[in-house]
Every structure is written in structure tokens, then in C-alpha cells.
Amino acid sequence: MAAEKLETEVRQDQITNAALGLIAAKGVSELSMAKLANRVGLVPSAIYRHFKSKDEVLDATIAHISERLMNNVRSARKETSDAVECLHMLLASHVELVRQNRGILHIVFSDSVYSGRPLRKQRMYQAVAAYLNEVAAIIADGQVHGLICRDSDAHTLAVMFLGLIQPAAFLSHMSNGEFDAAEHAENAWKVFSACLTGAQRS
């Protein structure tokens, strides 16, 4: 029975990954210490060698996701200096990230994760806000260089950019993947980018 002994660091990684996997399959509310331990090949109480509580596991899992998301932004920004192109790449990588990690959707579209944990909710909001600020910065950059029209506020456009992804992700989530988020994102991008660049008739 006895499971192999591994360092806490390794176990923490295994555990957060297992958590994300379980969440992807069944939703956040179906995540229990028992199932989690079972998936890692441990006994429930063993989890407490590596995390103080279930909340800590969730926090770590979320932090893990946030990092990956921000990496996306950074790499897109380094790839090109054309703001419009950059946004297009960011859109694609964002959709892809979500497609490969369905657990992200379950977490974002969850409330059991936040209710009764104002601090976590706040942290998540700040993460999203930080992401939007990055997007707004890219847009503002495009406006300065004349690639994007200046009629609209960069921040409004940033939220609209999120609006290209979120409903698609939501529909994909609700339809269990039947709705093709990538396809919609691509179609919507055509409209939106025309909007960004084309409205220079003022």
C-alpha cells in the first residue's frame, strides 16, 4: 500500500495538477480531499503534509493558472510590435489555454471558489484587472502608432477584447465543448479588428 515518498515540492505540483484535472472533469464543487488524494495515489491525511488546508490547495491551483496566463501575455508581446497582430496572437493563445485546461473555466465560472473567501475573490479580480491593463497597454500603444483609432478609450476596448473570449468560453463550457470557441473567436476577431483599425473615418 505505502506510497513512494516524495519531496513536498514535487507533491505540491502533483496535487495542484490533480486538482485542476478533477475540477476539469467534475467541477469545483466535486473536488474533495478524498478524491484528490486518491488521484495522487495518497491517503487523504497525507495531503496535509504538503498543504495546511483545502483552501491552500485551491489557492495554489489558482496561482498556477494565473502564472500561465500572464506568460501568454508576455510571450505575445515579445513576438511582435504590431499592436493589432499582438492582440490577435494573444486571443489565439488565450483560447488555446482555456481549451486545453477546461478546469480553468470551471474555476472562473464558479462561486464556491469565492463565496466566503473575499480575499481570494479580490486576488482573482486583481489578476483579471492586471491582464486587462496589459491588453489596454497594447491597445494604447497601437493608438499612439496610428494602428488603432483613437475614438475610444483603450480600457473600454480592452474589456471588449475580453468580450471576444468570455462568451465563447462560456458557451463552450455550458455546451460541454460543443460550441466551438476558437471558431467564434476567429470570426469575432475579424469584426473587432476592422472596428479597431477601420473606424478612422471620424
Partner DNA sequence: CAGCGAAGTGAACGCCGATTCACAATGTCA
Partner DNA sequence: TGACATTGTGAATCGGCGTTCACTTCGCTG
Applying CB under 8 A, the residues found at the interface with a second copy are: 26-30, 106, 108-112, 114-116, 121, 124-125, 128-129, 151-153, 156-157, 159-160, 162-164, 166-168, 170-171, 174-176, 184, 187-188, 190-192, 194-195, 198-199, 201
CB atoms within 10 A of CB 6: 14
Residue 7 beta carbon to a second copy: minimum distance, rounded to whole angstroms: 33
State which residue, 45 or 176, has the beta carbon closest to DNA. Answer: 45
Residue with cell 477584447: 161
Partner whose footprint covers residue 78, from a second copy, DNA, none (CB < 5 to 8 Å by kind): none
CB atoms within 10 A of CB 99: 16
Please name the residue ranges forming H helices in the chain.
8-26, 33-40, 44-47, 54-79, 83-100, 102-108, 118-144, 154-174, 181-198
Residue 14 beta carbon to DNA: minimum distance, rounded to whole angstroms: 9
C-alpha span between 1 and 58 (Å, rounded): 27
C-alpha span between 104 and 65 (Å, rounded): 7
Partner whose footprint covers residue 49, from DNA, a second copy, none (CB < 5 to 8 Å by kind): DNA
Residue 95 beta carbon to a second copy: minimum distance, rounded to whole angstroms: 13
